[in-house]
Amino acid sequence: MAVTEKTQQTVDEAVGDYKYGFITDIATERAPKGLNEDIIKFISAKKNEPEWLLDWRLAAYTKWLKMEEPTWAMVDYPKIDFQDIYYYSAPKSAEDGPKSLDEVDPELLRTYEKLGISLKEQELLAGVAVDIVFDSVSVATTFRKKLKEAGIVFCSISEAAHDYPDLMKKYLGSVVPVADNFYSALNSAVFTDGTFVYIPKGVRCPMELSTYFRINEANTGQFERTIIIADEGSYVSYLEGCTAPQRDENQLHAAVVELVTHDDAEIKYSTVQNWYPGDKNGKGGIYNFVTKRGACRGKNSKISWTQVETGSAVTWKYPSCLLIGDNSVGEFYSVAITNNYQQADTGTKMVHIGENTSSTIISKGISAGKSSATYRGLVKVMAGAENARNYTQCDSLLIGDKCGAHTVPYLEIKNPTAKVEHEATTSKISDEQLFYCQQRGLDIEDSVTLIVNGFCKDVMQHLPMEFAVEAQKLLGISLEGSVG
Partner 1 sequence: MLEIRNLHVNVGGQEILKGVNLTIKDGEVHAIMGPNGAGKSTLSYAICGKDGYEVTEGSVTYNGKDILALDPHERAGEGIFLGFQYPVEIPGVSNMNFLRTALNSQRRYRGEKEMAAVDFLKFVRACAKELDMDPEMLKRSVNVGFSGGEKKRNEMVQMAVLNPSFAVLDETDSGLDIDALKIVAEGINRLRASNKSILMITHYQRLLDYVVPDFVHVLAKGKIVKSGNKDLALLLEEKGYVGLGLEENAA
Interface residues with partner 1 (CB under 8 A) are: 430-433, 435-444, 446-447, 450-451, 453-458
Helix (H) or strand (E) holding 401: none
For partner 1, the closer CB: 416 or 441: 441
CB 270 within 8 A of CB 470: no
Q: What whole-number distance in Å separates Cα of residue 288 and Cα of residue 248?
A: 13
Of 294, 350, 354, 359, the residue nearest 324 (C-alpha): 354
DSSP 270-329: EEEE------TTS-S--EEEEEEEEEE-STT-EEEEEEEE---SEEEE--EEEE-STT-E
Closest contact distance (angstroms) between CB of 324 and partner 1 is: 34
- In the complex with partner 1, the residue whose CB is nearer, 89 or 433, is 433
Rounded to 10 degrees, the C-alpha dihedral 432/393/210/275 comes to -60
Query: Which residue, 388 or 450, is less far from partner 1 as judged by CB?
Result: 450
CA distance 356 to 419: 11
CB of 438 vs partner 1, minimal distance in Å = 4
State in angstroms the smallest separation of the CB of 452 from partner 1: 9
b/e string for 286-316 if b means 16 or more Cβ within 10 A? bbbbbbbbbbbbbbbbbbbbbbbbbbbbbbb
Closer of 2 and 465 to partner 1 (Cβ): 465
Q: What is the DSSP string of 70-113?
A: ---SS---PPP-GGGSBS-BPPPPGGGS-SSGGGS-HHHHHHHH
* Residue 426 identity (one-letter amino acid): T
Min CB(433)–partner 1 separation in Å = 5
**Which residue lies nearer to partner 1 by CB, 129 or 444?**
444
Q: How far is the CB of 442 from partner 1 (least distance, A)?
A: 5
As measured in angstroms, the least distance from the Cβ of 330 to partner 1 is 24
Q: Which is nearer to partner 1, 254 or 474 (CB)?
A: 474
- Nearest approach, Cβ of 358 to partner 1 (angstroms)? 24
Q: Which is nearer to partner 1, 31 or 451 (CB)?
A: 451
